Amino acid sequence: MGNESITVSEFNSLLNQTLNFAYPEVVVEGEVSSYKINQSKWVFFDLKDEESVVSCFMTVYQLKSEIEDGMVVRVKATPQLTKWGKFSLTVKEIELAGEGSVKRAFELLKAKFEKEGLFLPERKRQLPEMPEKVLLITSKQAAAFNDFVSIIDDRWGGLEIDHIQVQVQGAVAAEQIVDAIEYANSCSEKYEVLVIIRGGGSSEDLQAFNNEELVRVVYGSSIPTIVGIGHEDDISLAELAADVRAATPTDAARRLVPDKKELVSKIKLIESTMLSSLVSLASNGRSLLDDFYHSMEIRINNLKHETAELQSLATTYIAKVVDNSSGQLKLQQKLLNSLNPSAILSRGYSIARVNGRIIKSSSQYKDGDSLVIQLHQGKIELKSNNTGDKKTYDQQAKLNF
Partner 1 sequence: MTSKQNSTFKYSQAIKELQEITEYLESSDVDLDEAIDKFDRGSKLALQIEEHLAKAENKIKTIKSNL
Residue of the chain from 143, 282, 310, 380 that contacts partner 1 (CB under 8 A): 282
Q: Is position 136 an interface residue for partner 1 (rule: CB under 8 A)? A: yes
In angstroms, the Cα distances linking 158 to 152, 170, 266, 351 are: 10, 34, 18, 130
Q: Are 113 and 240 in contact (CB under 8 A)?
A: yes
Q: Is position 262 an interface residue for partner 1 (rule: CB under 8 A)? A: no
DSSP states along 161-189: EEEEE---SSTTHHHHHHHHHHHHHHTGG
Q: Least distance to partner 1 from the beta carbon of 146, Å?
A: 11
Q: Is position 322 an interface residue for partner 1 (rule: CB under 8 A)? A: no
27 versus 264: smaller Cβ distance to partner 1:
264
Site for partner 1 in 166-185 (CB under 8 A): 166-167, 176, 179-180, 183
Going by C-alpha positions, the residue among 29, 174, 177, 207 that lies closest to residue 103 is: 207
Residue of the chain from 213, 271, 290, 367 that contacts partner 1 (CB under 8 A): 271
Going by C-alpha positions, the residue among 229, 279, 237 that lies closest to residue 103 is: 237
The interaxial angle of helices 173-186 and 212-220, nearest 10 deg, is 20
Q: Least distance to partner 1 from the beta carbon of 159, Å?
A: 5
The rounded distance, in Å, linking the Cα atoms of 208 and 217 is 13
Q: Is position 149 an interface residue for partner 1 (rule: CB under 8 A)? A: yes
Residue of the chain from 117, 220, 285, 327 that contacts partner 1 (CB under 8 A): 285
The rounded distance, in Å, linking the Cα atoms of 195 and 256 is 9
Residue of the chain from 15, 28, 263, 344 that contacts partner 1 (CB under 8 A): 263
Pick the piece of the chain touching partner 1 (CB under 8 A) from 62-70, 148-156, 308-316, 371-379. 148-156
Q: Least distance to partner 1 from the beta carbon of 269, Å?
A: 9
Residue of the chain from 25, 29, 162, 323 that contacts partner 1 (CB under 8 A): 162
| Residue 337 CB neighbour total at 10 angstroms | 10
Cα-trace Rg, the chain: 65
Q: Is position 75 an interface residue for partner 1 (rule: CB under 8 A)? A: no
Q: Is position 275 an interface residue for partner 1 (rule: CB under 8 A)? A: yes
The rounded distance, in Å, linking the Cα atoms of 112 and 240 is 13
Going by C-alpha positions, the residue among 249, 223, 227, 224 that lies closest to residue 236 is: 227
Is residue 32 helix, strand or coil? strand
Q: Least distance to partner 1 from the beta carbon of 140, Å?
A: 7
35 versus 156: smaller Cβ distance to partner 1:
156
Q: Is position 158 an interface residue for partner 1 (rule: CB under 8 A)? A: yes
Q: By the criterion CB under 8 A, which residues form the site for partner 1? A: 128-130, 132, 136, 140, 149, 152-153, 156-167, 176, 179-180, 183, 260, 263-264, 267-268, 270-271, 273-275, 277-278, 281-282, 285
